[in-house]
Amino acid sequence: MTQHTAKTALVTGASRGIGKAIALRLAADGYAIVVNYAGNHELAQETVADITRNGGNAVAIQGDVTEPTAVTTLFDGAYDAFGSLDVVVHSAGIMALVPIKEDSLDAFDRTIATNLRGAFLILSQAAARLQEGGRIIALSSSVIGKSFPNYGPYIASKAGVEGLVRVLANELRGRSITVNAVAPGPTETELFMQGKSDEMVAQLAQAAPLERIGQPDEIASAVAFLAGPDGAWVNGQVLRVNGGMV
Ligand code: NDP
């Protein structure tokens, strides 16, 4: 039920995981998609191929979200490809699990650079370039509400993202652009599964009353709601999508 419109969406971190699911869902909803990625060229091309195979329209554009010039080039590329931009979804992110100790500083810096500095750069370009009626959606995390040990840098970065989203919603007053965050709970992707034993995954699955891990397309559904007509009155909010974990 692909319905083609002239609308376009840029999704960062769309070579895999949640970003890929968002790209596929928004493509099915009729958006032309810019598939951003950091280094996985082949996987990004697979996302594009999946979209075009289903009758959609997409291009892949490499760009490290921590680098201002790369982010500018990414948005330039989006406009070159499709001539307009209606939706920006910032899904690119990393998760390093380390305790709050001095020798974790490298992991802290990397996490803040990708998750928070990256969000600042993507949100600032989106704010500068989106037309009236645009939608900006950033990925936070429900783990903020749990404060598990070893999540310090990650939670700090995502708390920062939620702060940026609320402030930007106010800064864009008068332009009919909404800015929101989606905060998933544990979701079956490489980021979540990496380094976890089956036992740890099973334990985390029990954190939600629905007693399972979420799937990327369940997060994409929430993003599609915020991006689409039904989400028009939601602004400056964090939508937790986690099976009831917090
Ligand atoms: P994945 O590890 O599956 O995918 C990460 C994506 O981000 C990849 O496309 C990767 O590109 C891209 N990326 C990483 N660093 C950069 C960078 N510097 N510049 C551009 N792109 C980059 O992660 P998920 O899909 O699981 O996570 C997506 C978002 O959802 C993240 O923000 C994460 O924090 C959040 N989230 C995830 C949860 C989960 O349980 N999975 C729970 C809560 C929140 P490449 O393939 O080229 O490396």
**pLDDT of 4 above 50:** no
What is the mean predicted confidence (pLDDT) over 208-231? 98
Segment 87-97, tens digit of pLDDT: 999 999 999 99
225 located within any domain: yes
Structure tokens at 15: 């070579």
Count CA atoms closer than 13 A to 154's CA, side-chain side: 23
Burial of 211 (0-12, 13-18, 19+ CB in 10 A): exposed
User: How far apart, in Å, are the Cα atoms of 90 and each of 101, 181, 223, 245?
Assistant: 29, 9, 11, 23
In angstroms, the CA 227 to CA 229 distance is 7
For ligand 1, atom 23, the nearest C-alpha belongs to 191
Stated pTM of the model = 0.97
Average pLDDT over residues 38-64: 98
195: domain range?
Answer: 8-241
Residue 174 CA to ligand 1 centre (angstroms): 32
CATH number (domain holding residue 156): 3.40.50.720
Ligand 1 pocket, residue 246 CB under 6 Å: no
Would 56 be classed as within a structural domain?
A: yes
Q: How far is the CA of 19 from the centre of ligand 1 (A)?
A: 7
- In the predicted structure, residue 1 carries a pLDDT above the cut 60: no
pLDDT confidence bin for 3, thresholds 50/70/90: very low
* Mean pLDDT on 154-178: 98
The answer as to whether 3 is a domain residue is no
- Say if 1 falls within a structural domain: no
Q: Using CA atoms, how far apart are residues 214 and 17, in angstroms rounded to an integer?
A: 12
Task: Report the share of the chain in percent with pLDDT over 90.
Answer: 98
Longest distance between any two alpha carbons in the chain, whole Å? 53
Structural domains in the chain (count): 1
**Given pLDDT bands bounded at 50, 70 and 90, which one contains residue 54?**
very high
Per-residue pLDDT averaged across 201-205, rounded?
A: 95
Which burial class, exposed, middle or buried, applies to 42 when counting CB atoms under 10 A from its CB (0-12, 13-18, 19+)?
exposed
Assigned domain for 246 exists: no
Q: Is ligand 1 within 6 A of the CB of residue 189?
A: yes
Residue 154 annotated in active site: yes
Task: Say if 2 falls within a structural domain.
Answer: no
Span 178-186, average pLDDT: 98
- The candidate with the shortest Cα–Cα distance to 47, out of 71, 76, 26, is 26
At 184, the amino acid letter reads P
What string of DSSP letters covers 128-176? HHPPTT-EEEEE--GGGGT--TTBHHHHHHHHHHHHHHHHHHHHTTTS-
Q: Is residue 15 part of a domain?
A: yes
Average pLDDT over residues 19-31: 98
